[in-house]
Amino acid sequence: MAEPFVSTGRLPRDAEVGRILAAIHASVAGVADGQNSTVYPALQEADPDLFGLSLCAVDGGRHDVGDVAARFVLMSVSKPFVFALLCADLGAAAAGALIGVDPTGRAFNSVEAITSSPDGRTNPMVNAGAIATASHVRAGGHDERWQRIRDRLGAFAGRELALDTVTYDCVMATNVRNRELVAALAERGRLGCDAEEALVLYSLQCCLQVTAADLAVMGATLANGGRNPVTDEQVIAPELCHLVLAVMLTSGMYEDSGSWLYTVGLPAKSGISGGIVTVAPGKGALGLYSPPLDAAGNSVRGLHAAGLLSAELGLDLLASQPLGGR
C-alpha cells in the first residue's frame, strides 16, 4: 500500500535554526510586560526573569536557548495530551461527541459555558471540558485512572514526570472555581466518575512538573504522527493527532485563540504557569516558558517569541508563497 500524501515541509538547516532561536531569545528576553499568575500562590512565586525556548524536530534534533531546564507545572498545557488519551480509549468520533469540540466563546473557566450549553458539553481545552475528559479515561478506579494519565503524559515527554506536591496542595486548597465547574458538570451528567475524583484527577495532571524542553518533545510527538522522536515510542495512533491539534488550533490559547491563529498560524496550548507548546505538523514543535502573563493568561514573552519563530522558521500552517508567473 502506498504511503498517504500529507501536507508537511521541513525546517531550515540546524545551524540556521540555532542562530534564529538565539537571536529571537535575545530580542525578547528584555520584554518586561505581564505579571505572574495570581490564581495560585505557588505560581505567583516563580522567578519572572526565567525564559526558555526549546525546539524539537520530528527527527529528534534539539535546539535549546535560555532556561529550558527550569521546572514548572503543566497546568492547562496538560489538556491536549489527556484528550489524546481519551481519543485512544474511545475513538475519535466518540471522544469528540462526549466532550465537545467547538469553542465556547467564554472564559476558559466559565461556569456559564456549561449551563448555557444545550447538553453541558464544552471542549477539552477549557477547564470544564478538561475535567470531563480526565473523568472519562478508562480505568478500574481512581488510582489506575491517575496512573494511566501520568504514564501517557510521561510517554509524550519521553520521561517520567514528577508531581509538584506543594503546588498540588495549594491548588486543592484554593480552586473554588473548578469546584463550581465540577458541580455543574455533575448536574448535567457529563462526568465519567465521582465529582471529587474528577476534580482531583484534573488537579493532579495540572501539577506535573515539566521543562520547556519537555514541552518541545511532547509537541513534536504530535507533529510526528504520534511517535515520540526521542524515544521512538508510538504514543498515540497517527490519525488521532489531527483531532488533538484541531482543538488546540481553535481553543488552545484561551480567549485569544483567534488572535493567535491570525498572527501565528499554529496549533498551541498555553498554561497559567507560563508554558506554551506549539506544533508544526511534520516539522517539529516549540516549548516556551516565561511566567509573566497577559490578561488572557498567556506568557507574554512566549507569545512574542512564538510569533517571531513561526515566521522566521517557516512554521505557519497558513503561509504560502507564489510559484511565479506562467
- Could you tell me if residue 305 is inside a domain? yes
Last residue of one domain, picked from the residues 189, 206, 223: 206
Q: Which domain holds residue 191?
A: 78-206
Indicate whether 70 and 127 sit together in one domain.
Answer: no
Question: Domain check: are 26 and 84 in the same one?
Answer: no
pLDDT at 2 over 90: no
Regarding whether 248 and 174 lie in a shared domain, the answer is no
Q: Residue written as cell 478508562?
A: 138
Q: Residue 139 and residue 136: Cα distance in Å, rounded?
A: 9
Q: What is the total count of domains within the chain?
A: 2
Domain assignment of residue 6, yes or no: no
pLDDT at 326: 58
Q: Are residues 195 and 86 in the same domain?
A: yes
Select from 323, 304, 281 the least CA-distant residue to 11. 281
Residue count of the chain, please give it: 326
In a domain, 279, yes or no: yes
Same domain as 300, residue 186: no
The CATH number of the domain holding residue 82 is 3.40.710.10
pTM of the complete model: 0.96
Answer yes or no: is 288 within a domain. Answer: yes
Residue 147 grid coordinates: 496512573
Give the separation between CA 68 and CA 286, rounded to whole angstroms.
11
SS3 of residue 275 by DSSP: strand
Let me know if residue 9 belongs to a domain: no
Cell numbers that stand for 120 in this block:
453541558
Convert the pLDDT of each residue in 264-284 to its tens digit.
Answer: 999 999 999 999 999 999 999
Q: Which residue has the cell 518533545?
A: 217
Are 101 and 35 part of one and the same domain? no
Nine-digit cell string for 212: 520547556
- For 202, what's the count of Cα atoms within 13 Å in the CB-facing half-sphere? 34
Of 191, 206, 221, the position where a domain reaches its end is 206
Q: Across the strands, what pairs with 66?
A: 52
Task: Assign residue 289 a region (left: φ > 0; alpha: ψ between -120 and 50; beta: otherwise).
Answer: beta
**Residue 30 domain-assigned (yes or no):** yes
Per-residue pLDDT tens digits for 17-69: 999 999 999 999 999 999 999 998 889 999 999 999 999 999 999 999 999 99
